[in-house]
Structure 1
Amino acid sequence: METNGVRMTSEQARAALAETERTRASAAALSATPWPNWFALTLTLYIGALPITYGGVMSSSDWLLPRPAWMGVMLAITAAYGVCFAVAARAWREKTGVALRFDVLPKTVTVPLVIGLPALLVGAAFAFRATGRPVWLIAASLIGVAVSVGCHLAFVRLHRRAA
Structure 2
Amino acid sequence: MSQNLSLKVAPSNKDDYLECPFDERHLIMRSRMTVHLVRCAPNHHGSRKVRCPFNNTHIDTISKMKIHVGTCPERAGFEKFVHQNEIEEPDELPYEKREEIECSEDWDKEPDVGTYNPKLYCDKKFLILNPQGNPPAVKRQIRESERKRFQQHQKF
TM-score clears 0.5? no
The alignment's TM-score, normalised by the length of structure 2, stands at 0.18
More helix by share: 1
Higher relative contact order (CA 8 A, sep 6+): 1
Which entry has the higher C-alpha Rg, 1 or 2? 2
More strand by share: 2
The alignment's TM-score, normalised by the length of structure 1, stands at 0.18
